[in-house]
Structure 1
Amino acid sequence: MYWPETRRAKRTLFGGLALRQTAVYLMFLILSTNLVSGQLPKITPRTTKPAEAAAFTPSESADSQAEPGTWTSFLGNHRNGISDETDLNLDWNVHKPAVLWRVPLGGGYSSMVIAEGRLWTMATHLTNDFVVCFDARTGKKLWTTEAAPTYIDHQKQARGPRSTPTYHEGKLYCLLPAGDLLCLNAKSGEVLWKVNIFQISGAPRQEEQTLYYWGMSASPLIEGDLVILQPGGNNNNSVIAVNKDTGKLVWGVGNDPPGYGSPIVVDTLDQRQIIVPTGSSILSLNPEEGSLLWRIVWGNKYNCNCATPVWNDESLFISSAYGTGCMRFALFRQNEEIRPISQWKSLSLQNQFATSIIKDGYIYGPHGDLAAASYRCLDMQRGKIQWQTRRVGKCTQIAAEGHLICLTEQGALILAEANPTEYREKGNLTGLLSFKAWAHPALANRRLYLRDEKRLICLDLQEK
């Protein structure tokens, strides 16, 4: 929406103030908030050659093209964790979902994507990381493609891939922890092209910068003819775009270290925007040329922003752990520029590695990092806690048909209503997984897919 161009907007937002008073109030908001881009270092886009700039072709968003029964990207077709599936079994206390198949799988935190009756993920085995394809219905392994040497971070927290592949028009885009980016034929596993995003961008490898770094984790975003990635760098190479058909660098922008959350796309104020959580900020970029639209400072001493931003009702919600907290902010135009304005900021919800779900004006997600974690519901309008429980704790999650499907890091699967008045559990399944489960669930064709560091399982969620 535009501020404050109409009488209706003035009446709604400022209770009948005159236009001059409205302008004064807006200027007060801009000058008083820490989101003013003029207070932050200017980020200049990389100069692109005409042929490279022409590589961007605006198109419908990937989620608008997704077919029913698919889960084509990290956090699903809409990259917000919410499934469009219907006719699901959503009372596990009455009808416990059956395990349809269970297969061994190596280490890693990659989630799953599903299309064309197939499932793809990434895992480590011995000394290499692989892209793996299964028949989504039977669990039969169809192919494996060697992608890169096995990655392990300085602190030896975990081995193997972190990000999730992205499926787009018969191709699979896979980012490995050390920056290797592969484009594969999704049906056969053939490598169509491969580049290293550190080499093509000139960004330094983070292992050389700090001990507090855990590998490339942001999942690739397809936007038009571009693949959006985040190597992290201080010379207009923090965020880059490569051509999805060739892997050739198109543009680079920004001077921030990398984050771990994944980029998303929003369409608002007559402007398509790529929203990127870096290690120290949230960036908004014009996808056509890679120019900066706005930037806010956001992060912690570890540069560990892991949750993906969530777009909802003309505002963005962001959350990070380690004392950072969460914030909701709106976007508006001032002259020709888009500006972010904070609506509230709170320490009440701190997502460590999972992304919150927003449903019907309420926010649901895990809170906590190194100490005991809880699961909370916040009011979207004010950021106030509606309820909290220790029944769930640290988890990943998705949502479907007004319900939350939470996978704890211990491997328990919990079903609860997305209910703002109270925590109402509809099922708690234990023993499905037993090794650290940090990958988000995936849901397609009424089948729920889960993994830990040892195995991949498929559950039947068909309504009984």
Structure 2
Amino acid sequence: MNWREIQVAPRTFTGSRTTQVRAAILLFALMINTSLATGQLPQISPRGSKSNSTSPVKVVPGNQETAKKGTTWTSFLGNRRNGISEETGLNLNWNVHRPAVLWRVPLGSGYSSIVVANGRIWTMATHLTNDYVVCFDADTGKKLWSTIAAPTYLDSQRQARGPRSTPTYDDGKLYCLLPAGDLLCLEANSGKIVWKKNIFDVSGAGQQEQKTIYYWGMSASPLIEGDLVILQPGGSNNNSVIALNKDTGKLVWSAGNDPPGYGSPIVIEAEDQRQIIVPTGQSILSLNPEQGSLLWRVVWGNKYNCNCATPVWNEESLFISSAYGTGAMRFALIRQNESLRPISQWKTLAMQNQFATSIIKDGYIYGPHGDLAAVTYRCLDLQRGKVQWMSRRVGKCTQIAVEDHIICLTEQGTLILIEANPTEYREKGKLTGLLGFKAWAHPALANGRLYLRDEKRMICLDLKKK
């Protein structure tokens, strides 16, 4: 196959199907803390992009947290943004030992997940007319401080209020992106604002929600890479993705011309090249962290610009998935003529992540598939993309993994524990009545405690073995 063209079988929607898709997106695209799509042929275009950088930027591995494994959960989908906890020795047989609820606290609207470090947890929520960043004691649930971040956000479709993205913790600071583009750097211990910027003002990108190509506000969680904080305002003039100095909020570089997506950026290293992977509204971009230069681009998306799941890197290949007819693809990154080239290994319609990111464990992919009709939970073979099994017992959910198990939180607020077993669906416990609809935020796990939230409350479960 020609590396310049990754072909995806076209799939179109007409008539009432289009109406159904639009209606479903309005209801479910908010599920983010977060394409085989519409007749387009995804193309790979490894070409350079301009940089606003005037001097080299020192780039070192992103999070400088030095705490013991399992004691922190510092970003969306965990410390490595892959949804996998490094903890061991937990209670993972809930049918025999039901986890206890350690505490419950009230919490307002919003879909931000939770981050954990140094005995504290942070998230964002709405109260009355403002969106807040809130800090709690991780052991007791006692509120330690709250900081007004921005006026309460309501999307143009009037679907829901509150923050969408998840704070990022790094070296005693919190980086919090609000739906209308307000970015705050806070002291994690006190909640004091160190600096505040609006990423639309800094980048010059238009607030595209008003152009009906981006309905539901900034949802991608900030990525810390060395001295930089990476964000995606979605401009069309070399300002789709931007890097700010994490200490000052000053613009360092900008790149790309894609509309914004809803999934969060990640950082990977392949073929001795460190790179930022960004899911935009119409592509997957790879950027050099130092200058923001474009390493490669894969066209990937649908006419709704609704790429919501975060890409997953498993040290040898990249997995991407989107719903609404888009599908999934696995591709490797190889070096050809001094340039990185993404090579498609397989593509399929059999895994379409709507708002949850898939988990890759021991050579298999686990995640929810579907959007409009009944959603099934599936296991796919990473090597071939073949379905190993599917089950209707989970439905729409968010998820994280620990040891050889996956913890799924359904949108109705039911918690389900399953084995990461490629041969069959095997349930190890189900907890009902903990939360209610809309439980759209991903779980967080640190120090033997599982943190969950919906639009009204946050709870902490004890997963330590007794």
Q: Same fold (TM over 0.5)?
A: yes
Please tell me the residue identity of whatever aligns with 1:400.
Answer: V
Correspondence for 1:17: none
Partner residue, 2:127: 125
> Aligned residue for 1:366?
368
The one-letter amino acid paired with 1:244 is K
| 2:418 corresponding residue in structure 1 | 416
Larger radius of gyration: 1
Distance 2:323 2:66 in 1: 34
For the 8 Å contact 2:77–2:400, the answer to whether it is kept is yes
In the alignment, the residues of structure 2 paired with residue 455 and residue 32 of structure 1 have an alpha-carbon distance, to the nearest angstrom, of: 47
Q: Which residue of 1 aligns with 2:149?
A: 147
Match of 1:285 among 287, 294, 317: 287
Separation (CA, whole Å) in 2 of partners of 1:159 and 1:85: 34
| CA shift for structure 1 position 30 | 2.0
Residues of 1 paired with 2:77 and 2:44: CA distance?
Answer: 33
Distance 1:171 1:67, change over 3 A: farther
2: CA distance, partners of 1:64 / 1:160: 29
CA RMSD, aligned part only? 1.6
Q: Distance in 2 between matches of 1:293 and 1:277?
A: 14
1:201 maps to what in 2?
203
After superposition, the Cα gap between the structure-2 partners of 1:67 and 1:236, relative to the gap in structure 1 and judged at 3 Å, is farther
Question: 1:46 — aligned with what?
Answer: 51
Q: CA deviation at 1:412?
A: 0.1
Tell me the secondary structure at the aligned position of residue 3 of structure 2: helix
2:6 is the alignment partner of 1:33: yes
| CA distance in structure 2 between the partners assigned to 1:261 and 1:434 by the alignment | 24
Once the two structures are superposed, the pairs formed by residues 293-372 of structure 1 within 5 Å of their partners are 293-372=295-374
Pair 1:250 & 2:258 matched: no
User: Residues 211 and 279 from structure 1, CA distance in 2 versus in 1: closer, same or farther, beyond 3 angstroms?
Assistant: closer
Aligned mates of 1:363, 1:263 — CA distance in 2: 20
Partner of 1:94: 96
Aligned equivalents of 1:451 and 1:139: distance in 2? 12
* Counterpart residue type for residue 358 of structure 1: I
Give the TM-score of the pair, scaled to structure 1: 0.91
Deviation at 1:41, TM superposition (A): 9.1
Contact 1:132 1:143 in 2 (8 A): yes
Please name the residue that 1:108 is paired with.
110
- In the TM superposition, residue 204 of structure 1 has moved relative to its aligned partner by 0.5
- Contact 1:114/1:120 (<8 A) preserved: yes
3-state SS of 2:96 partner: coil
Distance 1:104 1:420, change over 3 A: same
Distance 2:253 2:156 in 1: 30
Determine the C-alpha separation between the residues in 2 that align with 1:331 and 1:190: 42
CA contact (8 A) 2:44 2:297 kept: no
Q: Residues 228 and 212 from structure 1, CA distance in 2 versus in 1: closer, same or farther, beyond 3 angstroms?
A: closer
Note the C-alpha offset of 1:313.
3.5
Instruction: Write the letter of the residue equivalent to 1:427.
Output: G
Q: What residue is the counterpart of 1:59 in the other structure?
A: 60
* Displacement of 1:87: 1.1
Q: Alpha-carbon deviations, 1:351-377, whole Å to 9, x = none? A: 011000000000000111122211000
Q: Post-superposition shift, 1:61?
A: 3.8
Amino acid at match of 2:3: I
Q: Conserved in 1, the CA contact under 8 Å of 2:397 and 2:409?
A: yes
Q: Number of residues paired by the alignment?
A: 433
Gaps of 5+ in 1: 1-27
Q: CA offsets, 1:199-245, max 9 Å, x none?
A: 01000102221165111000000001000000001001000000000
Amino acid at match of 2:321: S
TM-superposed CA distance for 1:453, in Å, is 0.3
**In the TM superposition, what whole-angstrom CA distance separates every residue of 1:162-190 from its partner, at most 9, and x where no partner exists?**
00000000000000000000000000000
Q: Are the aligned partners of 1:172 and 1:184 in contact in 2 as well (CA < 8 Å)?
A: yes
Question: Aligned partners of 1:425, 1:403: CA distance in 2, in Å?
Answer: 10
Give the conservation status (yes or no) of the 8 Å contact 2:450–2:460.
Answer: yes
**Cα distance in 2 for residues equivalent to 1:39 and 1:146:** 42
Pick from 204, 213, 233 the counterpart of residue 231 of structure 1: 233
- Higher mean C-alpha deviation, range 208-217 or range 374-383: 208-217
Q: How far apart, CA to CA, are the structure 2 residues paired with 1:239 and 1:200?
A: 11
Q: Deviations over 1:263-319 (max 9, x none)?
A: 001111111000000000000000000000000000011101010000014100000
1:406 lines up with 2:420 in the alignment: no
Give the structure-2-normalised TM-score: 0.90
Give 1:383's aligned residue. Answer: 385
On the 8 A contact 1:66/1:72 being kept in 2, the answer is no
Deviation at 1:59, TM superposition (A): 1.6
- Amino acid across the alignment from 1:62: N
2:268 match = 266
2:25 aligns with none
Label 1:307 to 1:156 Cα distance change in 2 as closer, same or farther (>3 A).
same
Report the Cα distance in structure 1 between the residues aligned to 2:349 and 2:434, rounded to whole angstroms: 33
> Quick check: 1:81 aligned with 2:83?
yes
Structure 2: distance between partners of 1:251 and 1:212: 23
Q: Distance in 2 between matches of 1:38 and 1:373?
A: 29
Q: Once the 2 structures are TM-superposed, how far is the Cα of residue 93 of structure 1 from its aligned partner?
A: 0.4
* 2:133/2:146 contact within 8 Å kept: yes
CA apart distance, 1:106: 0.3
